Amino acid sequence: MHTLPAAPAAAVRVPPAWYRVTRVGLSLAPLILVHLSLIGLAFVPVTLTALVLVVVMTRVSGLGITVGYHRGLAHHAYKTSRWFQFLLAAAGCTALQKGPLWWVVHHRQHHTHSDTPDDVHSPVVDGFWYGHCGWLFTRDLMRPDHATVRDLTRYPELVWLDRLWMIPGVLAACACYLVDGWAGLLWGYGLSTVLIFQVTFAVNSVGHRWGPQRFATGEGSRNNAVLGVLAMGDGWHNNHHKCPTSARHGFAWYEFDMAYLAIRVLRRFGLVWGVRQPPAAVMAAAWGTPA
């Protein structure tokens, strides 16, 4: 009996390098363009209204990232309703840091493999600038595995928002333009978005390089006082790695945590509940040791 030779394995078609680079570039186009828009600040005078918009937009997009994406979706540090969860996620989208599922996938990977070769953005392993923003240009991050965010993919509204994450940012940019023209667009939206981006990703880079380590967490997270203020509390990064699911990142009285204050206000109005706290022993250790 003769057996037929096995069919040759189908060749895996690998797209050319230019195509892969172009896809990555297009996915980051909004973020690249908003950084380039800062050139326009030299030609468009700032107005009082534009400065007000800077303050408003840094609060909206910044809290959308810290309270919505980070402490809410990534770590479930509090409970909330589906509509308010969606609202916070939409606010996070205005920061142009991609969709909520994409953001959470990579943040959870960071916590699972912090400062190891499997960490997606470790400045300790791959260098400061790669940890800060170079990792965003890695083509492997284009379509992340959603296996680690099945708790979120059960919400179709979040899946939809993750797919169309640019829409809230475009709407916010248009609103700023309608309020104050080019000054509103370039200063109110452009500058605020760049500031939030740089501060958020400085937590990944600076927050794993400079500052004291209150807790031995087995990786390079640091408590950085400057980032603690600028990143609305996320800069108390060593505290966060010690208790990732805590809504509170500033453990000591002098560690200002704007995001936690916002969560407390939201709890008072009944918009969030079940706010998770650090264990009492951890808080006692924090109050008895320097940052």
Query: Domain-by-domain residue ranges, the chain?
Result: 31-288
Token pair recorded at residue 75: 């770590």
Q: How far is CA 259 from the centre of its chain?
A: 13
Residue 42 has a pLDDT of 96
* End-to-end CA, the chain: 78
Give the span between the Cα atoms of 71 and 64, in whole angstroms: 10
Residue 28 has a pLDDT of 79
Q: Is 176 helix (H, G, I), strand (E, B) or coil?
A: helix
Q: Is the dihedral of CA 131, 133, 169, 39 positive or negative?
A: positive
- Sequence-ordered list of residues with C-beta below 8 angstroms from that of 41, at least 6 positions apart, any chain: 186, 187, 190, 191
pTM of the predicted model as reported, rounded to 2 decimal places? 0.89
CB 168 within 8 A of CB 71: no
Q: How far is CA 213 from the centre of its chain?
A: 22
- The alpha-carbon radius of gyration of the chain (Å, integer) is 21
Residue 30 has a pLDDT of 86
Give 79's strand partners: 273
How far is residue 251 from each of residues 9, 180, 202, 217, 260, measured CA to CA in Å? Answer: 57, 40, 20, 16, 11
What does 84-133 look like in DSSP terms, one character per residue?
HHHHHHHHHHTTTS--HHHHHHHHHHHHHTTTSTT-TT-HHHH-HHHHHT
Which residue, among 262, 231, 87, 107, has the nearest Cα to 168 in the 3D structure? 87
Per-residue pLDDT of the chain (291 residues; tens, 9 = 90+): 444 454 444 444 545 544 454 555 567 788 899 999 999 999 999 999 999 999 999 999 999 999 999 999 999 999 999 999 999 999 999 999 999 999 999 999 999 999 999 999 999 999 999 999 989 887 666 677 888 999 999 999 999 999 999 999 999 999 999 999 999 999 999 999 999 999 999 999 999 999 999 999 999 999 999 999 999 999 999 999 999 999 999 999 999 999 999 999 999 999 999 999 999 989 988 877 665
Which residue, among 218, 228, 227, 222, has the nearest Cα to 209 in the 3D structure? 222
Residue 25 has a pLDDT of 58
Q: Is 223 helix (H, G, I), strand (E, B) or coil?
A: strand
Give the span between the Cα atoms of 247 and 107, in whole angstroms: 16
How far is residue 217 from each of residues 28, 82, 233, 240, 286, measured CA to CA in Å? Answer: 33, 33, 19, 10, 14
